[in-house]
C-alpha cells in the first residue's frame, strides 16, 4: 500500500467543493468531451483538481494521466470519497471500457494519444458493438472495414450506441475478413465521430428518453493507426472489454439504488405496517433477496481482492442484479399506485418512478441479455455439457 | 470482509473429511431405521468431541476452544452435506452459547466443561406449537425456587438429553431455566419428523427447580442464543442445498436421453443456473449473519433474519428442483435426493420459517 489515507482525506477535504458533495441529478454528471458544458464552476474546478492528481483514473499509470494506484489504494480513495459523499469528478465509457482495453491491447502510440485525453475528460467515447442484425449473437456483426493500405473504408450501421450524439470518438467492432468464420474476421477500430460519413440518430425509448442512438457509417476513411490489436483479432479485445464491463458493474454498487424500495415502503407505512399485507410481503421478500444478492457481490469482491478474479461469476452478478432491479421497480410502481401512472407535463418524483420502471426493463438486455448470462453460468461455472 | 480466515478454511476442510468418513449418509439411514435409538451415533459424537466441535462455542475458561460462531456454522454446513445427526445444534450451539452468556457461575462450571468434552447433552426447549416463538409455559415462584408447567414440542435431542434449558414466562418476562432431564414431573415422548429425525415432546407438570436454576437476563438473552442457532441452522440449510445441487449437477452431466446428456438442454441449464445463483446468495447471507454475530455488530439480528429467510426459502426450492431434475428415480426412497428435500423442509421450519423471518425483516425496515 502506497497511498497515505490521512493525507488523501485532508486533500479531499480541502479540494472537493461543497457543491460536489451533494447527490447528483441525472443532468449533473460530468461526462467530459469537446461539447460538454459544465453545470457549475464547482464542477469544473473539481474535475481540474482531480485531473491534476490523476484521480479521474487512479489506477492508470502516471504517464497516461493516472495516479499509479494499486487496487487497494483505489479502494481507499473510494472509501474516502464516499465518506464525504464526493461525486465522481468524471464519468465516461473511456474510463470504464476503452481505457482498460487500450492499456492491455493498445500500441504505445495509441496509449500516449488517447489515454491522457480520456483522463482529462477532453474526449468523450461511445461504444459501437451491437447492430440491427447482431444483438445477443454479437459475432454475426456486418459493418465492414475494407483494407485500403493506409486506411480502412468503413460502411455499415451500429445500434444501441449509448450517447453517440454527444460523443467525440467511437470504438467499434468491424468485419475485416468476410470469408473467415464469425469471430475470426473481426477487428477493433477507433473512429473520430467528426469524420465525413459518420452520422447518428437518437432512439426514443419506451421511457420517453433517448440515451441510445443508431450510428451510420458511409464510406468513412479510418487511418490504419486506429486499429487496436492485430487485424482480425478484435474479438479478443471485445471479450476482455465485456468481462471488464461486467466486473465494473459488479464492483460499482452505485449503479442501482438498491434501498429505494425499502425507503419508499417505510415512508408510506409511517411507523405502522403497510396496509396491504400482500404488497408488504412482496416487498419484504424482495428485500431479503436484495440483501442476500448484495452479500454475494461483496463476497466475490472480497475474494477477488484476496488475489482471485471475479471472471465468469460477473455474469451471475449481472443476471441477479438486473433481475432484482426490475423486481424492485415493479414494486415501486405498485407502491405509487394509480398516481404513478401520470405521464404528462411536469416531471415530478412519481414520473421519475415510471421512467425508471420503463428504463429498468433494459437492464436485463443491455450488456448481455439475462439468457446469455444464464448460458455463461451454466457452461462456465457449472460446466454443463454442450451435447 | 465476507471471506474465511485461514483457520476457518482449515476447520472446514477437516470437517468435510471427518463427516464423509465417520458419518456418511448411509449412517443416517441406519439411524433412521432404528426408531428406539438415541437418534445419533455415540461414536460419531465422541469423534466430534475429539475434533473440538463440541467446544467450539465454549469459553476457554471452561475447557472450550471458543472458536466462534462462523466456525460453528462451517461445522453445521459440513455435517448437513451428509445429513449427519448429532446433538451439535442443541447442545454445542444453542445451550452452550446460552449458558456461556447467561449462566450463573455454578451453572457454567457444572455444565460447560462437560459439554466441551462431549459428555453431556443439554437440550434447548423453546417452541410449543405450530408457530415459532410463542411461549405459554409458566414459571411460578415457590418457597425455595420455581415451579414449571407447560408442554414443549420439537425439542431437538430432548429424548437423549441429560438436562434441558427451558424457556418459560415468569409473569411478563420470559427467562431460561436449567432442569435435569430426570426431574420429577418432567416426561418426554419421542416423535419422528418427516425427515426421519426424532424430537421430543416434553411435558412439565409441576416440575420444581431451585432458585439458582434461572439463567440471567430475559427475552433478549433467549433471542441472542436463538439467533446464534438460527444462523448456524441457516448454514446447515446451505450445506443441504449445496450437496443436493452438486449431486444434481453430476446427474445432469451423466444421464442421457434422446441421445444426448440432459445437462445439454438449455431449459435445464438455465434452471440449474438459477438454482446455483440462489444457493450462492443463501450462503453469502448466512456468512454475513455468522460474521455479524461474531463481531457483535448492531446489524446482527437483521442479518440473521435475512439469512434464515433466504436459506430456508432457497433450500426448499432448490431441493425440489433437484428432485424434479432427477425424474422418477428421485421419487424413490432408495435414492438419496429425497432425503435432502425432507431435511431442508424441517430445518427451514425450525426456529422460524421464511415467512416468519421475512415478516421480521419488513418490521425492522420500518414497514
pLDDT at A290 over 90: yes
| A374 and chain B in contact, CB less than 8 A | yes
| B366 and chain A in contact, CB less than 8 A | yes
Yes or no: say if A144 and A187 are a contact pair by the CB < 8 Å rule.
no
Residue range A36-58: average pLDDT?
95
Domain ranges of chain A: 5-91, 125-233, 253-381
Q: Is residue A245 among the annotated active site residues?
A: yes
Task: Give the pLDDT confidence score for residue A249 in this predicted structure.
Answer: 65
Task: Give the pLDDT confidence score for residue A351 in this predicted structure.
Answer: 65
pLDDT band at A255 (very low <50, low <70, confident <90, very high): low
Quick check: B2 and A288 CB within 8 A?
Answer: no
Please state, in angstroms and rounded to a whole number, the distance separating the CA atoms of residues B277 and A320.
8
Cα–Cα nearest to B282, from B134, B77, B62, B1: B77
| A95 and chain B in contact, CB less than 8 A | no
Please state, in angstroms and rounded to a whole number, the distance separating the CA atoms of residues B221 and B98.
7
- Higher-confidence residue of A262 and A246: namely A262
Quick check: A384 and B288 CB within 8 A?
Answer: no
Q: Which of A69-83, A175-189, B259-273 has the highest mean pLDDT?
A: B259-273
Task: Give the pLDDT confidence score for residue A321 in this predicted structure.
Answer: 92
Residue range B159-188: average pLDDT?
96
Which residues on chain A are in Cβ contact (under 8 Å) with B309?
288
Please state, in angstroms and rounded to a whole number, the distance separating the CA atoms of residues B134 and B169.
10
Residue range B200-216: average pLDDT?
97
pLDDT at B364 over 60: yes
Task: Give the pLDDT confidence score for residue B47 in this predicted structure.
Answer: 96
The DSSP code for B298 is T
Task: Give the pLDDT confidence score for residue A251 in this predicted structure.
Answer: 60
| A375 and chain B in contact, CB less than 8 A | yes
A376 SS3 class: helix
A16 SS3 class: coil
Quick check: A382 and B272 CB within 8 A?
Answer: yes
Task: Give the pLDDT confidence score for residue A348 in this predicted structure.
Answer: 58
Give me the helices (H) in A132-274, please: 234-252, 260-269
**Residue carrying C-alpha cell 433517448:** A210
| A380 and chain B in contact, CB less than 8 A | no
Upper half-sphere CA count for residue B234 (Cβ side, 13 Å): 36
Q: Which of A80-84, B104-108, B190-194 has the lowest mean pLDDT?
A: A80-84
- Mean pLDDT, chain B, integer: 97
Give how far A271 is from chain B: nearest CA, Å. Answer: 6
pLDDT band at A250 (very low <50, low <70, confident <90, very high): low
Give how far A76 is from chain B: nearest CA, Å. Answer: 15
Nearest CA in chain B to A380: B273
CATH class held by domain B123-213: mainly beta
Please state, in angstroms and rounded to a whole number, the distance separating the CA atoms of residues A243 and A227.
21
Give me the helices (H) in B123-265, please: 219-254
| A84 and chain B in contact, CB less than 8 A | no
End-to-end C-alpha distance for chain B, whole angstroms = 29
Domain ranges of chain B: 6-120, 123-213, 219-364
Residue range B265-284: average pLDDT?
98
Cα–Cα nearest to A187, from A216, A152, A213, A157: A152
Upper half-sphere CA count for residue A254 (Cβ side, 13 Å): 11
Q: pTM of the entire structure? A: 0.91
Cell of A256: 442501482
Pick the CATH number of B219-364 from 3.40.630.40, 1.10.260.40, 1.10.3720.10, 1.20.140.10: 1.20.140.10
CATH 1.20.140.10 fits A253-381, yes or no: yes
Task: Give the pLDDT confidence score for residue B366 in this predicted structure.
Answer: 98
pLDDT at B177 over 80: yes
Specify the fold of B6-120. Answer: Butyryl-Coa Dehydrogenase, subunit A; domain 1 (1.10.540)
In degrees and rounded to multiples of 5, residue B187 shows phi and psi of -125, 155
Please state, in angstroms and rounded to a whole number, the distance separating the CA atoms of residues B82 and B23.
7
The alpha-carbon radius of gyration of chain B (Å, integer) is: 21
**Nearest-CB residue to B366 (from A269, A299, A387):** A269
pLDDT, one tens digit per residue, over A304-356 is: 877 777 888 989 999 999 999 999 999 999 999 998 888 876 555 556 789 88
Quick check: A287 and B274 CB within 8 A?
Answer: no
CATH 2.40.110.10 fits A125-233, yes or no: yes
Quick check: A374 and B269 CB within 8 A?
Answer: yes
Residue range A235-253: average pLDDT?
76
Instruction: Out of A218, A245, A294, A366, pick the active-site residue.
Output: A245
Amino acid at each position: 500500500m502506497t497511498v497515505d489515507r490521512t493525507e488523501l482525506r485532508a486533500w479531499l477535504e480541502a479540494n472537493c467543493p461543497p457543491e460536489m458533495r451533494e447527490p447528483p441529478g441525472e443532468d449533473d454528471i460530468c461526462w467530459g468531451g469537446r461539447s460538454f458544458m459544465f453545470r457549475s464552476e464547482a464542477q469544473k474546478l473539481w474535475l481540474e483538481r482531480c485531473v491534476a492528481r490523476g484521480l479521474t483514473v487512479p489506477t492508470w499509470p502516471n504517464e497516461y494521466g493516472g495516479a499509479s494506484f494499486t487496487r487497494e489504494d483505489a479502494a481507499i480513495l473510494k472509501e474516502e470519497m464516499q465518506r464525504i459523499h464526493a461525486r465522481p469528478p468524471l464519468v465516461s465509457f473511456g474510463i470504464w471500457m476503452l481505457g482498460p482495453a487500450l492499456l492491455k491491447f493498445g500500441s504505445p502510440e495509441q496509449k500516449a494519444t488517447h489515454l491522457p485525453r480520456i483522463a482529462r475528460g477532453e474526449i468523450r467515447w461511445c461504444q459501437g458493438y451491437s447492430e440491427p442484425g447482431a444483438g445477443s449473437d454479437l459475432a454475426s456483426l456486418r459493418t465492414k472495414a475494407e483494407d485500403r493500405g493506409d486506411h480502412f473504408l468503413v460502411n455499415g450501421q451500429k445500434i444501441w450506441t449509448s450517447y453517440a450524439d454527444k460523443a467525440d470518438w467511437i470504438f467499434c467492432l468491424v468485419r475485416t475478413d468476410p470469408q473467415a468464420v464469425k469471430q475470426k474476421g473481426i477487428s477493433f477500430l477507433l473512429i473520430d465521430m467528426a469524420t465525413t460519413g459518420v452520422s447518428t440518430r437518437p432512439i426514443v425509448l419506451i421511457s420517453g428518453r433517448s440515451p441510445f442512438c443508431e450510428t451510420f457509417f458511409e464510406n468513412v476513411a479510418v487511418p490504419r493507426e486506429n486499429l487496436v490489436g492485430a487485424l482480425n483479432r478484435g474479438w479478443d479485445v471485445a471479450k476482455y472489454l465485456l468481462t471488464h464491463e461486467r466486473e465494473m458493474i459488479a464492483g460499482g454498487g452505485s449503479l442501482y439504488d438498491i434501498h429505494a424500495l425499502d425507503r419508499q415502503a417505510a415512508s408510506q407505512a409511517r411507523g405502522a405496517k403497510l396496509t396491504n399485507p400482500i404488497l408488504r410481503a412482496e416487498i419484504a421478500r424482495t428485500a431479503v433477496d436484495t440483501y442476500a444478492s448484495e452479500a454475494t457481490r461483496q463476497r466475490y469482491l472480497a475474494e477477488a481482492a484476496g488475489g482471485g478474479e471475479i471472471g465468469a461469476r460477473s455474469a451471475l452478478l449481472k443476471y441477479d442484479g438486473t433481475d432484482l432491479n426490475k423486481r424492485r421497480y415493479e414494486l415501486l410502481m405498485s407502491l405509487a399506485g394509480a398516481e404513478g401512472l401520470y405521464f404528462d407535463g411536469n416531471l415530478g418524483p412519481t414520473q421519475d418512478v415510471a421512467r425508471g420502471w420503463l428504463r429498468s426493463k433494459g437492464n436485463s438486455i443491455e450488456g448481455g441479455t439475462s439468457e446469455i448470462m444464464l448460458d455463461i453460468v451454466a457452461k462456465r461455472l457449472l460446466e454443463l455439457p454442450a451435447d | 470482509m465476507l471471506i474465511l480466515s485461514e483457520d476457518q478454511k482449515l476447520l472446514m476442510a477437516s470437517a468435510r473429511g471427518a463427516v464423509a468418513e465417520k458419518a456418511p449418509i448411509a449412517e443416517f439411514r441406519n439411524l433412521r431405521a432404528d426408531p428406539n435409538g438415541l437418534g445419533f451415533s455415540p461414536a460419531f459424537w465422541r469423534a466430534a468431541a475429539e475434533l473440538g466441535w463440541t467446544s467450539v462455542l465454549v469459553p476457554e475458561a471452561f475447557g472450550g476452544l471458543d472458536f466462534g460462531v462462523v466456525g460453528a456454522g462451517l461445522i453445521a454446513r459440513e455435517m448437513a452435506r451428509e445429513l449427519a445427526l448429532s446433538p451439535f445444534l442443541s447442545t454445542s450451539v444453542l445451550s452452550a452459547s446460552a449458558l456461556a452468556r447467561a449462566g450463573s457461575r455454578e451453572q457454567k462450571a457444572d455444565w460447560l466443561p462437560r459439554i466441551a468434552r462431549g459428555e453431556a447433552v443439554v437440550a434447548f426447549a423453546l417452541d410449543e406449537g405450530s408457530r415459532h416463538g410463542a411461549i405459554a409455559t409458566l414459571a411460578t415462584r415457590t418457597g425455595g425456587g420455581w415451579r414449571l408447567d407447560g408442554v414443549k414440542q420439537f425439542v431437538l435431542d430432548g429424548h437423549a438429553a441429560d438436562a434441558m434449558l427451558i424457556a418459560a414466562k415468569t409473569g411478563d418476562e420470559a427467562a431460561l431455566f436449567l432442569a435435569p432431564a430426570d426431574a420429577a414431573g418432567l416426561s418426554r415422548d419421542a416423535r419422528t419428523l418427516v425427515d426421519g429425525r426424532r424430537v421430543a415432546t416434553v411435558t412439565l407438570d409441576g416440575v420444581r427447580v431451585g432458585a439458582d436454576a434461572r439463567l440471567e437476563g430475559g427475552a433478549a438473552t433467549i433471542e441472542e442464543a436463538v439467533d446464534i442457532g438460527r444462523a448456524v441452522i441457516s448454514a446447515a440449510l446451505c450445506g443441504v442445498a449445496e450437496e443436493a445441487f452438486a449431486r444434481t449437477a453430476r446427474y445432469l452431466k451423466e444421464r442421457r436421453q434422446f441421445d444426448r446428456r440432459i445437462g445439454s438442454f438449455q431449459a435445464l441449464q438455465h434452471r440449474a443456473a438459477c438454482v446455483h445463483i440462489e444457493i450462492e446468495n443463501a450462503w453469502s447471507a448466512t456468512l454475513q449473519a455468522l460474521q455479524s454475530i461474531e463481531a457483535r455488530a448492531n446489524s446482527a439480528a437483521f442479518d440473521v433474519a435475512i439469512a434464515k429467510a433466504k436459506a430456508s426459502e432457497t433450500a426448499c426450492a432448490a431441493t425440489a428442483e433437484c428432485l424434479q431434475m432427477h425424474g422418477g428415480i428421485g421419487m424413490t426412497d432408495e435414492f438419496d435426493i429425497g432425503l435432502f428435500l425432507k431435511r431442508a423442509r424441517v430445518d427451514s421450519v425450525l426456529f422460524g420459517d421464511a415467512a416468519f423471518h421475512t415478516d421480521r425483516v419488513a418490521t425492522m425496515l420500518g414497514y
